[in-house]
Amino acid sequence: LCFAPISCSSWSLDVRRFKRVAELMASLPAGKPTLYGSLTRRGLSTEGVPDIAASEGFVVGEVTKKSILISCPHENVSTKFLAPYTTFCRIHQKSITCLDISSGGGLGVSTSTDGTMKIWQAANGEIRRLLEGHVYDVNCCRFFPSGLVVLSGGMDAQLKIWSAEDASCVVTFKGHKGGILDTAIVDRGRNVLSCEREVGTEGKILLLAREDKKLQGVGLQSRQPVFLFVGSDAFNCCAFLSSTYILAGTQDGNIYQLDVRNTNAPIQVIHRSGAPVLSLLPYRDGFVASQGDGTCFIIQQDLDYVLDLTEADCDPVYKVASWEKQIYTCCRDGIVRRYQLSDL
């Protein structure tokens, strides 16, 4: 069982406004006591970078205006806390439940509990199009690989395809009996998949994260089960890391890494907290995960620390999207946050 090591409460919106004291906690494997400590800001440099000291057991590494690296030498673990590069507060009025970024990085699309789905400029959050046509809330949205077309699914049991250029609904698919929870696009978009609570395709496997604690792989062409893995709790999300490795997150905070060639036992289980794992995104040589307690973190094979994306506080981070070295998150507080990953 692997642990994302260090967490920090009372994190300020910006390192430059870092609170006088913040609490630290290092979560260790079962059988070892949790280590607690604190950070204290002693001053501010002329460049606006805070001078921060850690209590016994923790060490402060590199500090910038947007990040701080904290280590626990005794356990050989480190976490870098990264503040958003910018935030977009005016796209939606309520919780943002889903978002995606176009393949070129220029546009974003998002859905909200305020009943809207919008296309916006990824650089500044300026709204470009309002996509209207679903009867009830829109649960999911994503760009086609072209970046010019959007696929959405809603509580009205309808699947819609939209033009990002003029906001017109090109086609509507009906057939589901319940609200559509997620979608997937196969290759360039000649085939699309959608799922509800009921639940070129050759050689493709469909991953199903199920509420009955089961992760299932199904052959798209044969429609036959390929594997079935039983987890610790209901599965909320899943993703392919590669053609052979997959990730799946559960309601009780576990992230399973599996090899599709042998799913009898996981390669590893990562546990950051007991909050539900809400989204998983493959990213470079690792992945980005978000949870229901506001936690959002990045694990990479070539990094000796975990990268923690801050500022959501305790609001659930529902979805994560990426473009090159930029990560976008959407949250219950109605804010889209953009993080700049200079280290990767």
Contacts of residue 162, Cβ cutoff 8 Å, sequence gap at least 6: 131, 133, 149, 150, 151, 152, 168, 169, 170
pLDDT at 195: 77
Contacts of residue 223, Cβ cutoff 8 Å, sequence gap at least 6: none
As averages over each run of 10 residues, the pLDDT of the chain (344 residues) reads 58 49 66 82 88 92 93 90 96 98 98 97 98 95 97 96 97 93 86 73 84 95 92 98 97 98 96 96 97 96 92 96 98 98 81
Q: What is the dihedral of CA 88, 343, 292, 186, to 10 degrees?
A: 80
Distance separating alpha carbons of residues 44 and 68, to the nearest angstrom: 14
CA angle, residues 282, 341, 66, in degrees to nearest 5 = 135
Q: Taking the model in full, what pTM does it have?
A: 0.92
pLDDT at 23: 72
Distance separating alpha carbons of residues 29 and 25, to the nearest angstrom: 13
Distance separating alpha carbons of residues 170 and 285, to the nearest angstrom: 36
Distance separating alpha carbons of residues 238 and 131, to the nearest angstrom: 27
Long-range contacts of 130-133 (CB under 8 A, 24+ apart): 130/167, 131/162, 131/167, 131/169, 132/167, 133/160, 133/162, 133/169, 133/172
Q: Other CB atoms closer than 10 Å to residue 175's CB: what's the count?
A: 8
pLDDT at 9: 60
| Cβ atoms 152, 173 nearer than 8 A | no
Distance separating alpha carbons of residues 121 and 127, to the nearest angstrom: 6
Q: Which helix (H) or strand (E) holds 340?
A: strand 336-340
Q: Which CATH superfamily is domain 86-200+272-340 in?
A: YVTN repeat-like/Quinoprotein amine dehydrogenase (2.130.10.10)
Q: 155 forms bridges with which residues in the sheet?
A: none
> Using H for helix, E for strand and C for coil, what is the string for 31-77?
CCCCEEEEEEEEEECCCCCEEEEECCCCEEEEECCCEEEEEECCCCE
Show me where the domains of the chain are located. 6-82, 86-200+272-340
Cα-only R_g, the chain: 21
Contacts of residue 236, Cβ cutoff 8 Å, sequence gap at least 6: 209, 249, 250, 251, 276, 277, 278
Q: Computed from CA positions of residues 183, 186, 188, 192, in that sequence, does the dihedral angle turn out positive or negative? A: negative
Distance separating alpha carbons of residues 157 and 179, to the nearest angstrom: 4
Distance separating alpha carbons of residues 133 and 116, to the nearest angstrom: 10
Q: Other CB atoms closer than 10 Å to residue 209's CB: what's the count?
A: 22
